[in-house]
Amino acid sequence: MKAGIIGATGYTGVELVKIILKHEKLALSVITSESYAGSKFSEIYPALQGMCDMVLEENNLETVSQKADVFFLCLPHKAAMETANILYNKGKIVIDLSADFRINDKGLYEATYGVEHTASELLKKAVYGQAEIFTEQIKKTTLIAGAGCYPTSIITPLYPLLENNIIDDNQFIIADSKSGVSGAGRKPTLTNIFCEANEDLKPYGIFSHRHNAEIDHILSRAKNNTHVIFTPHLLPVNRGILSTIYIKTHKDKNEIEKAIKSKYSGRFFVRMRDDIPAIRYVAHTNFIDIAVFKKDDTAIIVTAIDNLLKGASAQAVQCYNIQQNIDEKTGLI
């Protein structure tokens, strides 16, 4: 099957290129870029010289849409919804890595992102792309809303705990998350230049990060009105997210672990650990590592993912594999 990437020159785009090159069922047939159309991909990412010297095309969907069967969208929100709408209506499989179809409530989306949702009729058709939770729905859709990076690290362990009433009612759920700088994208700003990010750590978006709405929205499917207190931090590493999650529960460690293990039984990329997760263990992989610690009424759940892979491009391909009914590991190990 032929694959296209719309907006291929950001960090999620280059990871998709690398995965598709290794994927035995996908052939990369078209890549686009607004800023770099006409350049070879390897001019933008010199690491790929000899691996991907394809020329980037303009985002002209009339032309581009004919060149592939499945499209991965690596566009900013708002731009993504419009592109998705066109490609979906042309019968393409669309895997959108933006936030535009993650929250399938038009009002909540618009309140969170401050823009009108102009493809809201698709919101009901889009499936949230946490690959291990929404597996059955992913098989039946052609519009996948790739899960957010922070949300993947938080929703994956909490979803089964909420489904199984492991977390005490009306009690705190706190997710203290730390992300590598690639999460901020490739656009140069005073926040992500080397001398400002290196040898530092700081929280940002306290009580106000957009992923909080996504986290609460998806978790509320497991249990109504779930609210997570979520604090992201900017961490001086290239890639990876570690989330330290605090919950109150009267259940013991075994019950907590069992709920997670049962939910993800047989799922290769969810790894329960006995030791403590670390970003280093999951960097450059599609794994999500999870460990549970318990004392008194508090459980601490630690998760780690690669923000660009399980948190974006690799999970997107995993969803594609599931949708196509092929081994979910294809191209990913």
Q: What is the DSSP string of 273-305?
A: -SS---HHHHTTS--EEEEEEEETTEEEEEEEE
Q: Which of 52, 74, 149, 319 is catalytic?
A: 149
Interface with a second copy includes 280 (CB under 8 A)? yes
Does 202 sit near a second copy (CB under 8 A)?
A: yes
Instruction: Report which DSSP code applies to 35.
Output: T
Under 8 Å between Cβ of 271 and 286? no
Whichever of 54 and 278 has its CB closer to a second copy, that residue is 278
Whether 311 and 152 have beta carbons less than 8 Å apart is answered as yes
Within residues 89-108, the interface with a second copy by CB under 8 A covers: none
> Which residues does residue 95 pair with via DSSP β-bridges, in sequence order?
72, 144
Binding mask 163-182 toward a second copy (x if CB under 8 A, else -) reads: ---------x-x-x-x--xx
Active site residue 52: no
Per CB under 8 A, the list member of 62, 140, 295, 325 interacting with a second copy is 295
Q: Does 25 bind a second copy (CB under 8 A)?
A: no
β-pairing, 298-305 vs 202-203, is: unpaired
Q: Which of 11, 71, 113, 320 binds a second copy (CB under 8 A)?
A: 11
Position among 87, 144, 162, 197 found at the interface with a second copy (CB under 8 A): 197
Residue pair 226/151 in contact by the 8 Å Cβ criterion: no
Q: Pick one of 201, 220, 252, 254: the residue that binds a second copy (CB under 8 A).
A: 201
Question: Could you tell me the smallest distance in angstroms from the CB atom of residue 51 to a second copy?
Answer: 7
67, 78, 221, 233: residue in contact with a second copy (rule CB under 8 A) = 233
Q: Tell me how far apart the alpha carbons of residues 237 and 184 are, in angstroms, rounded to a whole number.
A: 12
Spatial distance between the Cα atoms of 198 and 204, rounded to a whole number of angstroms? 16
Whats the size of the chain, residue-wise? Answer: 333
DSSP secondary structure of 142-160: SEEEEPPHHHHHHHHHHHH
Q: Are strands 229-235 and 173-180 parallel, antiparallel or unpaired?
A: parallel
Q: Which of these segments, 61-69, 83-91, 94-102, 192-200, binds a second copy (CB under 8 A)?
A: 192-200
What is the contact mask toward a second copy in residues 39 to 58, using x (rule: CB under 8 A)? -------xx-xxx-------
Long-range contacts of 80-89 (CB under 8 A, 24+ apart): 81/117, 81/118, 81/119, 81/122, 82/118, 82/119, 83/6, 83/59, 84/119, 84/122, 84/143, 85/118, 85/119, 85/122, 86/61, 87/61, 88/122, 88/125, 88/142, 88/143
The least distance separating a second copy from the CB of residue 227, rounded to whole angstroms, comes to 9
Least distance from C-beta 20 to a second copy, angstroms? 13
CA atoms within 13 A on the CB side of 222: 23
The one among 125, 223, 248, 261 contacting a second copy by CB under 8 A: 248
- In angstroms, what is the minimal distance from the CB of 290 to a second copy? 12
In the complex, the residues that contact a second copy under the rule CB under 8 A are: 11, 22, 46-47, 49-51, 172, 174, 176, 178, 181-182, 186, 188-190, 192-204, 206-207, 229, 231, 233, 235-240, 242, 244, 246, 248, 268, 271, 273, 275-285, 287, 289, 293, 295, 298, 300, 302, 304, 333
Residues annotated as catalytic are 149
